Chains A and B, each alone.
Chain A
Amino acid sequence: MIRRRLRLVVPPWSYGFTVALAMWVATVAYSGIGSSGSILDTALAFGAFSVLAGTGQMLVIASGPGNIDLSIPSVLTLAAYMAMKVMHGSDGLVAVGLLAGLLVGAAAGALNFSAIAALRLPPIIATLASSFIFESLAVDLGGETRVEPPPALSAFAVWRIADVQVMPLAVMVLTVIAAIVLRRTIFGRQLLAAGQSEPAATLAGIDVWRVRLLAYVLCGAAAALTGVLLAAFTGGAALNMGSSYLLTSIAVVVLGGTSVSGGQANAVGIWGAALFFELMTTMLNTFRFQAGARFLLVGALIIAIVAIVPKPRTT
């Protein structure tokens, strides 16, 4: 008892922030203090996309053991294409296009969950199979071309107020909302309860299926929003735009302190893990590491962090 109380308590989600900070310091020390701002800017902007996709993944993973969404990359691409097509480069149609993209994402999430529920498939297989279908739809919709965003949307993606980027700030607000929803709202509590024990949650009167359906729908919508913003930021929807988010969305969630076995989630920790990934890439680029060595180090660090960090408690 006493020993446990004396031990320094470091919450698992703080590791990402700590390592990210260390990498930022190392990079700045190497390339000079003048670069510190721009390095952080880039990490925040690209980190925001991982956080957005990761937050959706977190809701799904927290909703119960085995729940995972492998269709995020293809939903992201499909929604980006849909939104860009609807907007058709016109500023007046931004809201309509965004809505269309979000609807596609939400529908994809609902489809995922109905495959899981109706066919009693493991989520990993159901979302894998549906991701193949969404991928084909995206290719059919967009073809090989890059569909460009309207100027107003591109301007929003890089908009700054007093030298502060608005888009990452908006994602941070979403993170805070997600954290509050998990902690304080009925949906959040029901989601975590369903994730901890399905029978117990059912006995407590929770409609577990409805809660999970909502988690998948929100995940699809989050992927869609990521796609639209990413298309705005990088100058258009492209076929391979989502590919890196399959692994990233899972990695940031788990490294951010969410338990893979469900029932326990951490929205704020995702930021730490996402910044860690972005700043590590920047650091290895600055140190002129070759692509191969970069991949190798990223892999080794992911494993090291998972192995060292104490496991989040699911009780």
Chain B
Amino acid sequence: MISAGLPLARPLRLAKRREAAQLGLPTVALALMLTLIIAMRPAVFSYFGVTLLFKLTTPLVFASLAQMLVIMLGDIDLSNGSFVGLISCVVALYLKGAPLLAGSIIVGVILAYVGFGLLIYSRSLPSIIVTLGMSFIWLGTAIILLPAPGGSAPDWLVQFMSWRPPLLPLPIWFAIAAALAGHFALGRSSYGSVLRGAGANPRAVARAGWSLIGIRAAIYAAAAMLMTLAGATLTGLTTSGDPNVAPGYTLLSVGAVILGGGTFTGGIVSPVGTVIGALTLSLAGSLLSFLQVSPTWQSGAQGVILLLVLAGRVLVAERVS
């Protein structure tokens, strides 16, 4: 390792630079959008304005990090949005009156999610179709529990979500905490590199004596817990439950992961990038309402920004290498 240090230095530096380019572009896009918004409405540049602007990003940040873990394994999760919807229903229905029941349902759902994850692995099934089936299962369960939007979030949750912490607004604290936690857990810890290895080169990780089943179960469980956080924070914001509250999360979360520098080949993901990607995508929608463009073009703007940033990355990557 040490003797190979010199010849390795160049490719290592190159990889570092490429990583910086990957992170840089979504960051620049995010900063650009913020500047635009603030230039148009200076009032936004305040504690309260930023809170409003980023209010709905928190659930998407958690959902995107969950998607990132699954993509890290080389799979994809098309059930992300309906899982968040199911959790939102359980939280709104039971957490106030019967917290024990709510807890056990959530644990059961997480276990089911892990079970499906292991089924994908053990029978080497295409994750795209199994998670598609799972999305119907979560949606169905949510509709059985709560046929029409309703229920109410516990007061402490609503209060927590509207809490005003010192220095920075709550959504920003959440984003920073999630990005740092993800960065240190996956990028800086030794177990993190084993987890990434399980997606990039599962055979090598298995040869090194790790249980792939154990690793995959752990990652799927972590993803399910992140989606639970997404569902709970979303319910705290909307104060009621709705099975169809977040179908858009499925695809937006995939977009956030790729925007943040992740790839579908497995093993290559960036928690910090994913968080920035999620912020960028959810801000893209509100940017247009500040520009007073009709809501018609909001999803179109998300598409254009996604394409522009990814196109920029291709150009930069070519320049660097």
Question: Which residues on A are within 8 Å of B, measured CB to CB?
Answer: 66, 68, 70, 115, 119-122, 124-126, 128-133, 135-137, 139-140, 247, 250-251, 254-255, 260-261, 290-303, 306-307
Cα–Cα, bound, A303→B113 (Å): 13
B297 with A130: CB separation less than 8 A = no
A70, A291, A303: most-surrounded residue (chain B CB, <10 A)? A303
Q: How far is the CB of A235 from chain B (nearest CB, A)?
A: 24
B140 with A132: CB separation less than 8 A = no
15 additional contacts (CB under 8 A) given A119-B311, A260-B129, A293-B140: A70-B251, A119-B307, A120-B314, A122-B263, A125-B255, A135-B303, A136-B299, A136-B303, A260-B128, A295-B139, A296-B137, A298-B140, A299-B137, A301-B133, A307-B119
Give the chain B neighbours of A295 by CB distance below 8 A.
136-137, 139-140, 143
Give the chain B neighbours of A303 by CB distance below 8 A.
116, 119, 130, 133-134, 137
Q: Does B43 belong to the interface (CB within 8 Å)?
A: no
Q: Does B300 belong to the interface (CB within 8 Å)?
A: yes
B136 with A302: CB separation less than 8 A = yes
B129, B299, B301: most-surrounded residue (chain A CB, <10 A)? B129
Give the chain B neighbours of A294 by CB distance below 8 A.
140
B300 with A135: CB separation less than 8 A = yes
* With A115-B307, A125-B254, A296-B136 as contacts: A306 and B144 at CB distance below 8 Å: no
Q: How many residues of B contact A (CB 8 A)?
A: 45
Q: In chain B, what residue has the closest Cβ to A253?
A: B129
Cα–Cα, bound, A297→B144 (Å): 12
Give the chain A neighbours of B254 by CB distance below 8 A.
124-125, 128
Q: In chain B, what residue has the closest Cβ to A125?
A: B258
Q: In chain A, what residue has the closest Cβ to B257?
A: A125
Cα–Cα, bound, A94→B45 (Å): 54
Give the chain B neighbours of A247 by CB distance below 8 A.
78, 132, 135
Give the chain B neighbours of A290 by CB distance below 8 A.
143-144, 147
The 5 closest A-B pairs by CB, nearest first: A136-B300, A299-B136, A132-B303, A296-B140, A295-B140
Q: How far is the CB of B207 from chain A (nearest CB, A)?
A: 24
Cα–Cα, bound, A115→B310 (Å): 10
A297 with B314: CB separation less than 8 A = no
